[in-house]
A and B are shown apart, each in its own frame.
Chain A
Amino acid sequence: ELKVEQNPLFLSMQEGKNYTIYCNYSTTSDRLYWYRQDPGKSLESLFVLLSNGAVKQEGRLMASLDTKARLSTLHITAAVHDLSATYFCAVDRDTGNQFYFGTGTSLTVIP
């Protein structure tokens, strides 16, 4: 059974601080995705990581992928309130037909 686990599940951090969210997965996959979900809203794609060592950055968020360790990280730099949301990582099986989502990390940035 494919498992995608995120750590931590809940994160409360002050504005201006840095933090990292971790995503571990149990299957062989070279592709990992990060999504953001605001309360009561749908999911929005943030990053698509397609190979070992891939690193992508957008604003205060940076995502990386280590396929050997089956680990992806989402690093937050100098957090601001607008980043408050739930962040999901997702892995697709080699067939590319099914996406499996992590448990989600609920981030709250406190002024």
Chain B
Amino acid sequence: EADIYQTPRYLVIGTGKKITLECSQTMGHDKMYWYQQDPGMELHLIHYSYGVNSTEKGDLSSESTVSRIRTEHFPLTLESARPSHTSQYLCASSRSGAEKLFFGSGTQLSVL
């Protein structure tokens, strides 16, 4: 069973607020990912990390930032939330190499 946790599960905030979505995994995985998914749509990669102090942007342009100070923690921050940021955010992790992704339960973000 995967041990990857996301908080909060649901978040409703006003425009202009700064928010941080938390993601932690206890499996010692090197690689971590953030995906954005609109209802009924495909997943889009917004950020990923190979390991500590490594972060890269994915193909989907995003106004969010990430950090990877510890192996187990990969938070995503929006400095100023907008209604266009309303979406589901999924965190995932994997070991190095050709390994499947383990997904967290997701954060459903609504920006009013």
Residues of chain A at the chain B interface (Cβ within 8 Å): 31, 33, 35, 41-45, 48, 50, 86, 88, 90, 92, 96-104, 106
Contact = CB atoms under 8 A, between A and B. Distances in A.
Contacts of A50: 98
The number of chain B residues touching the other chain, given as a range, is: 20 to 34
A46 B99 CA distance: 12
B67 interface: no
Contact of B45 (A99, A103, A104): A99
Given A31-B98, A98-B58, A99-B33, A44 B41 contact: no
A99 B99 CA distance: 10
The 5 closest A-B pairs by CB, nearest first: A101-B43, A45-B100, A42-B103, A43-B103, A103-B42
Please classify the interface of chain A as helix (H, G, I), strand (E, B), loop, or mixed, using the class held by over half of its residues.
Answer: strand
Interface of B: 31, 33, 35, 40-45, 48, 50, 56, 58-59, 90, 92, 96-106
Contacts of B41: 103-104
